[in-house]
Structure 1
Amino acid sequence: MILKRNVLALALASGLCFTAGIQAAPGDAAAGNGATGDQATPANAQQNSQGATGQNGNGQNANGDTKQTQDQQLAKSLSTITVTGYNQSMEKSIDYQRYADTIQNVITSADIGGLPDQSIADALTRLPGVTAERIAGQASQINIRGLSGNFIQTTLDGREQPSTSGSNYIQFDQYPSELINMATVYKSSQASLITGGVGGTIGMETANPLDAPKSQNLNIDARGSYDGQAHDVSGANAVGYRLSAAYQGKFLDNTLGIGLGVAQMYQPHVSEQFVGEASDGSQYAINSQPGAPTGYLPEGIQLQQNGGEERRTGEIATIVWKPTDELQVTGDGFFSKFKNESFGYGFRSQNFYGNNTQITNPVWSSLGTLIGGTVSSNPVAGIDPRTSSAYGNQFSNETTADNYTTTTSVFSGGINLKWNHDNWHIDSDISLSRATSNEINVDTTADPYSGLGTANPQLMAQSMNFQLRGGNVGKAQFGDPSLYTNLADMGLSRYGVYPYIYHDKMKAFRTSVKYDLPNSSWLSALEAGVYLNNHNYNADREAYVYGSEWNTTPVAGQPPLSIPAGDAKVTCWKGKFSGFPCFLTLNGPGILAAHGITANPVKDINANSWTYVQSGEVAEKTRDLFFMADIDAQNVFGHELTGNVGIRVSRQSQYSDGLQQVGNGAGIPITDGNGFTSYDYAPINVGKTYTDYLPSLNLIYHLSDDDQVRFSAAKVLSRPPIDKMLAGAGSWISNGQYNVYGGTSPLLDPLRAQQYDLDYEHYFDDSSGAVTAGVFFKDVKSFVQDITLNNYDFAAAGITVPTDPTTGKPYLNGEYQTAYNAKGGLVRGLELSGSKTHFLPGILSGLGVQANFALTSSTVRNPTNLGGPTTYVGLPGLSKRVASAALFYDYGPFSARLSGNYRSSFLSDTQIAVTNQLVTFAAETVYDLQASYDITKQFRVVYQMLNLTNQPTRTYFGGNPQQTGTIQYFGRTSYLGVEFKL
């Protein structure tokens, strides 16, 4: 604990971080050769184990003639760039792409720092084939070439990053754009890259202070923000800010570099939502009368205002010591804390299916699913004679007060050593990275009651008329809207707290040794290395529940609670949502406190045994070796051939500790947080070990100085989603059969794939633009899916089956709900990219354009019944069409950029009900604008507007746009501020 506190104290004490205004030349802190003068040579230009390679130690070929390697050409090209603003950033990015051994796209510091990016995710979406899923209006999870974040490896300064998402994918809004000096998307693989990127690898890098333009550098950036949508949301604040400061200094004759900085963001969390809920895939009669029409019924609809605030603080500290030209030692730490306070208030009309309602005037979708009609309480509770199932008055337009507040943090730091002597190069790194996520997840519901406060309160009969309107806000009208603002009628039915707590920690070591071959006619270098990573993931679930929804299953001593006037406020809708019924904004903890109740979420093995089933630990151990040869042949059919060939041997161990519900008192004694002791659970440790051989080949055939063809082939893998490898499992007995639920498995195989790329690239003179075209092909062997297996042989799988007391023998085998490696499929696509600067004369010479287009398809189909009947939808994360375009202008002190990002519809499971749901996100286009003016050399005024058109997020179920999922409006955000540079 002392070590942990000291490390965090070091990061926090720095109080400073690199800002958007940093103008240092892009450096590679992972590869990190700093310069010793004020005009530094970019580190990547000398040696970058994850980028451009092929350096010869003394730069001579077998004949003793000097030859220009990829890295030397990159260094020369970057040193000639003298333009500023967006033109400069684009031209630097083109050079990194041009001289790299892998197929990659790059964003440099000037690009990131000068554009309207709240996080590094926004910057990445400007690259071809790269898209982001907007969560709460912000770009968060990144998709590459149609594959979701679980298929993407992410590093910071060469160090694998832990996740705050509870799964494998990285939430990139955790990383402020001010802190990142360069970001590279590797679309092809090479042996030196850490495994995990079937979709691609994203390498983020922080700056090397020895690469700063001057001996002493200070940058301060202050911007105020405004989101007009906040005025429509209860309790939301429209005003926010972003502040950042940075210092970079070089000392002791430029042998010691120090970089310190901080970046802070405060902004409102705002959205207004119309939600259509999913079907369970079953057909129901629309009322209990004989001969009533049947169809697929959704669970209900929701109306919600989502407000709160977001606070993010990012910090970084870097010390680089380079006592000689041969030795460099770097110590650095990155820390980011993000608190997203998110409160949802409104209505939830639920329980449409299950014979709980009467439905009249039904409107059906083309798939036979209800999308409109009048829903009302069943007049009589009882047993349906046709189905022998119970029905009753369980329908309500319940008032909701939810709290999704999440606090996440990431720390990543370590020590890196580089030693270069003649033809030998050693790069070693030891690191510690950890991430935490804690979502409070409160669900509060209130309903109108007759007899509230008596011994037998009864849910009032209610009705509502609704209509889904596809991608537009639907209709919802209540029979008696005055009920829901009358404190004499409204009572708190349920208050539930269900925290999601995750811890993700990595301890890693990597080292590589590279030897230059200056006299070889084919090879420029040989490289070998090792990578060790101990990865521990912990999931911890808790619960506290007061009462029951609609009071349908009354709990002794927990009746519906009256609502004090001070803990409720009448709130009405505005803007696009005006006309919906007014509701009460509830203070759930205040209502409980008025009745002497305090919520205390704990592990509950009695009433909420899933808190133990879904908790547990996964331990992964990675032990990798790699061997790689850099290719640099000067005359292959009259042209130069560069690239690399290699193999990575990856050995993976994955084991999980959890609890299995064995029943019948056959387990060990476990006492939960409420003092209840159970003997029905037994600890288990399950897992597997496997080894993969991953060859890779990257070739660049240089047709001319400006034209080249690339070919890449590799075998790659991504580890299974770590949350899907938990060992915990619950059980139930039915009809003499033992059944197991959990939906996870530590025995999952990795997601393996073979991939091929072919690209043509043309570069304009003076790095003023490029035109590229490429095709790619991926054969993914499997995808992780949930499955229910019947008559499963539990004993053969090592799962203990309890004894049936009626027979004295083990229960019969029943259902096994688990995760498994389903059949894979093909992913293939086309990517086009073009950019050009300086193509017009005079005052228009500062005009530049940039455009990307990607076309992707897949043979993968996923079944879903959330829209009613079973339909087949595509691969999560895949948009068939992705495009982005930007028009920018730099002339004298003025700079401006207008950009747009488009992606066609795609599938994702980031919409959450009780569990994650697979929904289709509709096509969207988001426009951003930025303009700046240099008042002096030290001061600049900046204006930004994000999401110019207030583009909403729209989802629907089952591939049917009529079946509305969620429609969310987040508003447009404006920034106005100043930058100071010294």
Structure 2
Amino acid sequence: MTHARARQRRSLSSPGTPVVRLSPLALASLVVLGLPAGPALAQDAQDTQSVVVTGIRRAIETSVAIKRESTSVVEAVSAEDLGKLPDISIAESLARLPGLTAQRVNGRDQVLSVRGMAPKFGVTLLNGREVVSTGDNRSVEFDQFPSELINGAVVYKTPDASLASQGLAGTVNMSTVRPLDFRERIISVGVRGERNSNGAQVPGSSATGNRLSVSYVDQFADNTVGLALGFAHLDSTSQERYFKHWWWGNSAIWGGAFRGLENTDPSKAPHTLQGFETGVTATKQVRDGALAVLEFKPNKDIRSQVDLYYSKFSQDAQGRELQADLGPNWSGDGTPGHEANGGPIYSNVKTQLIGNDRYLVGGRVTNVDPRILTRYGQRDDNITALGWNTEANLAAGWKGVADLSWSKAKRDELVGEAYASATTLGGFDFVANPNGGFSQFTPLGNYGDANNIQLRGLSGWGNLNGVGQAGSLSPIHVSDELKSLRLGAKKDLEWGVVSGFEGGVNYSQRSKDRNSTQTIYALKNGTTCVGNDVCQPFPAGLLQSPVNMAFSKVPGLVSFDMMAAINAGLYNSGVVNQSSAPGRIWGVDEKVTTAYGKVDLDFNAGVPVRGNLGLQVVHANQSSTGLAWDANANAATPMTFGTSYTDVLPSLNLVAELQPSLLMRFGLAKVVARPNMDDMRAGFSASVATSGQDLGKWSGSGGNPFLEPWRARAIDISLEKYFGKRSYVSVAGFHKKLANSIYVEDFQFDFTGFPNTSGTTPISNIGKLTAPVNGKGGHVAGHEVTAALEGNLVSPMLDGFGIIASYSHTVSNLPGTANDGKAALNRSLEGLSGEVYSLQGYYEKNGWQFRVAQRYRSKFVAEVRGVWIDKSLSAIDAEKITDLQLGYSWESGPLKGVSVLLQVNNLDNTPYKTALADDSSTSTPLRMMPERYIEYGRRYLLGVNYKF
């Protein structure tokens, strides 16, 4: 060990002098000025070595130690105790780390953004191995991982060449326990009950749930064999209520016509809500996770571990919804007597001036066609990850590492809906909310009375054998399999500034397939009701209790089970929308070989410096299968394309010990993020024009199997000041200059090999394809400020109190072109929240634990499930989530090892909100108007843990 490294180790553990109390202002001043806080702020090992720290402070202490010791810029989260991360999934724990935040899906934290970048820009590892995903792409859905089975996680914001795989935004490495790290048998059991504050929203659902976890760790054969077993069961409920505004428009600008409104003068015509849907959804979520780790260490030279992780997550959703199209009847010109018997009629209207635009906010609307939908969702996810890692001491001080792993994810999902309605046109008294929140539409009829409602097929939504669509069911199947082998070696060295070497090779094969179709249902029998639609009365036994949606002023809504209706034999069915198959049926195969080498650095440059200099050479061979849709023949042909490329990724990490507790970090690297898999699909819709100015020309749209990764040059710098084991302040900045990006545009493509059944001979096989392409230029940059401070730094009276606060600000600028290939665009990065902060306050002493945590992210654009089963981008509003935790642990006596815990998640019942642009607004840029408004309710949990 060099002198510099020895000094670094001593700075973490050497005794110090009595602690001096400093005000927060004084602490901040010391960091900013770079002045020494004095030996008084070094930890007093004489006082602390005899104290066993547990709970919240132990988790903080472990996380701070990981951050301080790392040569990369990292953040870490650790379990308070075995099986005792307090969150529903590891996603919630990670979302509170500096520079990280989560995106909610169905009320749960599901995917993570690192440094303001979308989930697709990061990579997730489990025990150092890349892990598969049940999602549509490579982004891991973290709610698949119970917090009780994850012992901790490290987020690498700067790369380390020894990591098997790395992302452009960062790398998350989740870890499970190693049983030989313990020196005793430990058994931990936890039980919790939960309740959702929204109550049961759908007949037959429940607002209550439960959690159960068991963890076991033991050692055998004189501590040469270790065994860890874990099981976590979640039976939870999601109860949501929502209102979705379709879009807003000025009829005088759009050219539509509304009876009862001004339609000719844009300055007087109000911007009107063009339709809505409001409803409730209840989702029963059952997740079973299991973990087994077997570790073998027969002597000091060999350590081998086999670990198995398994998770099964089932979600059953039932939704009830009222919707109405409030758009103009485009077949009429608005002149009295020329309305073509259609279109809403408004009366008693109220408007509100917002900026320069006037919006319709209240009144009565009649002559509309309300529809009642029952929605159905059923999803089963399975993840299995198996790994075998062996480390062995070899000759001449070398240590060899071999790691073999296999993981597979499987998702089977059904998404469906069925329709009913009144047999005559209806209307509403309404209060529309252009500022966000629930708009309220009170039906003029009783839609909770089954005598007024019938099953209905909608002729305007597609048909089957000439009968209007009465429902649809879309199955989705996703399979993701990854195999990898890693061989490496490392050695401590004393070669001047070089203190060690590590190198090796990692080879992986990944195959992901997605297959989804759509089946529509049409009523077998019925009579004509509205227009050409077919209606049929509800058969006996199909109806449930009406749904009360008082939040949107709908006192009662007919409720029926979709699958029960299908099983009752009321419908004919058939597969439709086959032209969408190129975007829904595809497969991607990847073979990636990574050779890596890293030298550890340890030297003195006036101050002790440690770090590493690394290099990865990554060769990727990718291929994709898909369908080429021939619009002329109404048929699909299988297609396969592929490419290969090599990336050379150098990295440098340096840590300078400016003072014993003041560290400066510097990182410089080239980083990549592989493309989304659905963007890489070999799926196209293509045809030869048979008329018009494009006669004889090929055109199409789809994926791009020749895509190469996002690439960037990244620089990081941070300054960290430590005050004992659990307190520090840091300031960090980063800049990523993009050399390669991905966006959608028109480009020239060779359609050779595509079927041509148009009957027209193409002028050339080169035509226009609209698809994702690689572009150049752009940047992502930001800064982060973090503070973890214990109260006793300020006053002995605050012993046990502490705060953890972080703030990050990120900006981006990506180039692109409009689809005409001419206009230059500047756009923000997908998933970018410009501002993110997290604030935690805690108290832990004499067995008591209290923690309140709040996290905020500003508005961002992200992928969500859109209409039917395809993804789309959505503008998601800023949100602030607050969680509360209160507990008590018995530290002695007959109840020693027992702890109780009360949690409230989403304390403020923060809504999930999205927005859309009013393209008839006079504002510049276009005014963003409310779209979705969803309340998931608060989740209350009360439980007990017993460790023995």
Q: So what's the TM-score if we normalise by structure 2?
A: 0.84
AA at the equivalent of 2:557:
F
Deviates more, 1:876-885 or 1:684-693: 876-885
2:63 aligns with one of 93, 117, 121: 93
2:518 counterpart letter in structure 1: A
Any idea what SS the aligned residue of 1:229 has?
coil
1:827: Cα distance to partner? 1.3
Q: Is the 8 A contact 1:919 1:965 kept in 2?
A: no
Q: Could you tell me which of 83, 92, 109 is aligned with 1:122?
A: 92
Name the counterpart of 2:403. 429
C-alpha deviations, 1:447-475, integer Å up to 9, x for none? 2236xxxxxxxxx4656746233222123
Give the partner amino acid of 2:490. K
Alpha carbons of 1:367 and 1:622: their partners in 2 closer, same or farther (altered >3 Å)? farther
**Aligned residues of 2:84 and 2:148 also touching (Cα < 8 A):** no
Q: What residue in structure 1 maps to residue 804 of structure 2?
A: 850
> What displacement does 1:97 show?
0.4
- Seen in structure 2, the aligned counterparts of structure 1 residues 504 and 278 have a Cα distance that, compared at 3 Å, is farther
| 915-924 or 292-301, which deviates more | 292-301
Counterpart of 1:413 in structure 2: which amino acid?
A: L
Higher strand share: 2
Cα distance, 1:847–1:120 mapped onto 2, change above 3 Å: same
The corresponding residue for 1:724 is 679
Partner of residue 514 from structure 1, selected from 478, 490, 509: 490
Quote the Cα distance in structure 1 between the aligned partners of 2:784 and 2:124.
Answer: 22
- Structure 2 match to 1:832: 785
Secondary structure of 1:122's aligned partner: helix
Match of 2:743 among 767, 785, 788: 785
Cα shift readout 1:770-804 (whole Å, capped 9, x = no counterpart):
111111111233443333x3xx655x254526154
Between the aligned partners of 1:280 and 1:698, the Cα distance in structure 2 is: 54
2:925 matched to 1:972? no
Q: 1:944 aligns with which of 903, 912, 929?
A: 903
| Whole-angstrom distance in 2 between the partners of 1:112 and 1:286 | 64
- Paired with 2:213 and 2:827, the residues of 1 have a C-alpha distance of 44
CA distance in 1, matches of 2:449, 2:568: 19
Of 668, 689, 692 in structure 2, the residue corresponding to residue 713 of structure 1 is 668
Q: 1:793 to 1:910 in 2, by over 3 A?
A: closer
Aligned pairs for 1:312-331 (under 5 A) are: 312-331=287-306
Matches within 5 A, 1:194-343: 194-214=164-184, 216-278=185-247, 284-287=254-257, 292=264, 300-343=275-318
Give how far 1:522 is off.
0.2
Distance 1:567 1:204 in 2: 47
Give matches, 1:142-153, under 5 Å: 142-153=112-123
Secondary structure at 2:254 match in 1 = strand
Whether 1:438 aligns to 2:412 is yes
Answer whether contact 2:209 2:235 (CA < 8 A) is retained.
yes
Write the distance in 2 (CA, Å) between the matches of 1:623 and 1:819.
25
SS at match of 1:539: strand
Say whether 1:770 aligns with 2:728.
Answer: yes
Q: Which residue of 2 aligns with 1:879?
A: 833
Distance 1:621 1:760, change over 3 A: same
Write the distance in 2 (CA, Å) between the matches of 1:733 and 1:377.
46
1:412 is the counterpart of 2:414: no
Output aligned runs, 1:454-493, within 5 Å. 460=425, 465=430, 467-478=432-443, 480-482=444-446, 485-493=449-457
Q: Which whole-Å CA distance do the structure 2 matches of 1:338 and 1:132 have between them?
A: 19
Q: Which runs of 5+ in 2 are unaligned?
A: 15-42, 331-341, 458-469, 918-924
Q: Please say if residues 151 and 196 of structure 1, whose CA atoms lie closer than 8 Å, have aligned partners that are also in contact.
A: no
Residues 1:548 and 1:952: Cα distance change in structure 2 (over 3 Å):
farther
Confirm or deny that 1:357 pairs with 2:343. Answer: yes
CA distance in 1, matches of 2:675, 2:743: 11
CA drift at 1:513: 1.1
RMSD: 3.5
| Separation in 2, partners of 1:327, 1:73 | 31
Of 109-118 and 368-377, the range deviating more from structure 2: 368-377
Equivalence for 2:536: 561
- Cα shift readout 1:842-873 (whole Å, capped 9, x = no counterpart): 564211221111111122489999xxxx9986
Measure the CA separation in 2 of the matches of 1:344 and 1:698.
51
Partner in structure 2 of residue 500 of structure 1: 476
Task: Tell me what 1:447 maps to.
Answer: 421
Q: Please point out which of 640, 646, 656 is paired with 2:608.
A: 640
1:625-655 CA distances to partner (integer Å, 9 max, x unpaired)? 111111011x21x211110111111111111
SS at match of 1:96: helix
Q: Aligned partners of 1:271, 1:476: CA distance in 2, in Å?
A: 18
Residue-by-residue CA offset, 1:845-902 (whole Å, 9 max, x unaligned): 211221111111122489999xxxx998632222222111111111112121111112
**SS of residue paired to 1:441:** strand
Aligned to 1:397: 370
Q: Secondary structure at the match of 1:164?
A: coil
Per-residue CA deviation, residues 931-968 of structure 1 (Å, 9 max, x unaligned), is: 21123222111111111111111111248775112111
- In 2, Cα distance between equivalents of 1:628 and 1:553: 75
What does the per-residue CA deviation read over 1:122-177, in whole Å, with 9 as the maximum and x for residues that have no partner? 10112111000111111111011110100010000011011111112111111111
Residues 314 and 921 (structure 1 numbering): CA distance in 2 closer, same or farther, change over 3 Å? same
Q: SS of the counterpart of 1:487?
A: helix
Comparing 441-450 and 89-98, the one that deviates more: 441-450
- Following superposition, the deviation at residue 546 of structure 1 comes to 1.1
Kindly indicate whether residue 769 of structure 2 is the aligned counterpart of residue 816 of structure 1.
yes
> For residues 369 and 335 of structure 1, do their structure 2 counterparts lie closer, same or farther at Cα, with a shift above 3 Å needed?
farther
**Conservation of the 8 A alpha-carbon contact between 1:927 and 1:946:** yes
Letter in 2 for 1:971: G
Q: Identify if the C-alpha distance between structure 1 residues 824 and 558 changes in structure 2 by more than 3 Å, giving closer, same or farther.
A: farther
Q: Is the 8 A contact 2:200 2:239 kept in 1?
A: no
Name the structure 1 match of 2:465: none
2:857 pairs, out of 891, 898, 903, with 903
Q: How far 1:241 moved relative to its partner? A: 0.8
Percentage of pairs with the same residue: 27
The correspondence of residues 55-70 of structure 1 with structure 2, limited to 5 A, is 59=1, 61=2, 68=6
Q: Is the contact made by 1:863 and 1:873 (CA closer than 8 Å) also made in structure 2?
A: no
Counterpart residue type for residue 304 of structure 1: G
**How many pairs align?**
860
Aligned to 1:18: none
Distance 1:436 1:69 in 2: 50
Pair 1:149–1:927, CA change in 2 (3 A): same
Mapping for residues 541-560 of structure 1, pairs under 5 Å: 541-547=516-522, 559-560=534-535
In the alignment, what sits opposite 2:712?
753
1:929 aligns with 884
CA distance, structure 2, for counterparts of residue 175 and residue 770 of structure 1: 29
- The separation in 1 between residues aligned to 2:249 and 2:619, in whole angstroms, is 41
Q: Distance in 2 between matches of 1:473 and 1:291?
A: 27
Equivalent residue, structure 2, for 1:36: none
- The whole-number CA distance in structure 2 between the counterparts of 1:968 and 1:811 is 51
Mean CA deviation greater in 738-747 or 264-273: 738-747
Larger CA deviation: 65-74 vs 735-744: 65-74
Q: Contact (CA 8 Å) 1:286, 1:293: kept in 2 or not?
A: no
Report what 2:618 is aligned to. 650
| Matches of 1:158 and 1:252, distance apart in 2 | 28
Map of 1:37 onto structure 2: none
Contact conserved, 1:86 with 1:114, CA < 8 A, in 2?
no
Matched residue of 2:495: which SS?
coil
- Between 618-627 and 114-123, report the one with greater CA deviation: 114-123
Q: Which moved more, 1:268-277 or 1:189-198?
A: 189-198
Instruction: Decide which moves more: 354-363 or 121-130.
Output: 354-363
* Residue 71 to residue 784, structure 1, CA distance change in 2 (3 Å): farther
Q: Distance in 2 between matches of 1:923 and 1:911?
A: 19
The 1:359–1:817 alpha-carbon spacing in structure 2 relative to 1, beyond 3 Å, is: farther
Asked whether the 8 Å contact 2:439–2:552 carries over to 1, the reply is no
On the 8 A contact 2:402/2:487 being kept in 1, the answer is yes
For residues 90-122 of structure 1, what are the alpha-carbon distances to aligned partners after superposition, in whole Å with 9 as ceiling and x for unaligned? 111111101101000111122795554111011
